[in-house]
Chains A and B, each alone.
Chain A
């Protein structure tokens, strides 16, 4: 069985602060894939990133960065200099080579002025 834990239910920050969203996963697969999705207030889920289990390099995309550490089974997401438009629910998800995508319970991020 596989499991994704997002322990932070809700985070509130002031604009321009950096914020890290935690994701811890469990799987018995040796090959697996990790994802982050964003769900803004409008409701749709927006794909942010996909990483496979063999690629532990950190990734940066603009103000977004991801830290993948197999040793701690974590795939954390950092937003630098947060903006109000970053307010959303963020989901971490995991899929094995043949197993279905399992989502975490999500972290609601509120960025205020």
Chain B
């Protein structure tokens, strides 16, 4: 059974460019999470979807960040325009319940903005 699939695994982009990260959750899971991991701030929840609906986006840093989940099998996290401080590893995770059930993580996308 395939786990959470994220693409790309690595992304290097120039400041000001648009970046789109993609995620395919585990089939049958109804919750999807986007996390960001940095040395300074650790693991932070950016946004949480349940049944494709955004439930909590309080962790989205600013308007440059947006996330969508058009269907149960796909989600995107977009940064426009990107800045060097956005450099981080972005994880997508999915679960069969809500925030308090075990989440299964993808391998992450390492984003570098130069």
Contact = CB atoms under 8 A, between A and B. Distances in A.
Interface of A: 32-33, 35, 37, 42-47, 50, 91, 95-101, 103-106
B109 to A, nearest CB: 10
Nearest to B33: A101
Interface string B41-78: 01101001000000010110000000000000000000
B42 A98 contact: no
A105 B42 contact: yes
A42 B106 CA distance: 11
29 contacts: A32-B100, A33-B100, A37-B105, A43-B89, A43-B107, A43-B108, A43-B110, A44-B105, A44-B108, A45-B93, A45-B105, A47-B104, A50-B102, A91-B43, A95-B100, A97-B100, A98-B98, A98-B99, A99-B99, A100-B45, A100-B56, A100-B58, A100-B99, A101-B45, A101-B99, A101-B100, A101-B103, A105-B42, A106-B42
Contacts of A43: 89, 107-108, 110
A99 to B, nearest CB: 7
Interface size of B as a range: 20 to 34
Contacts of A101: 33, 45, 99-100, 103
Given A32-B100, A47-B104, A50-B101, 7 more contacts: A42-B107, A43-B107, A43-B110, A91-B43, A95-B100, A100-B48, A100-B56
Given A33-B100, A35-B102, A50-B101, A103 B43 contact: yes
Contacts of B59: 100
Contact of A44 (B33, B43, B106): B106
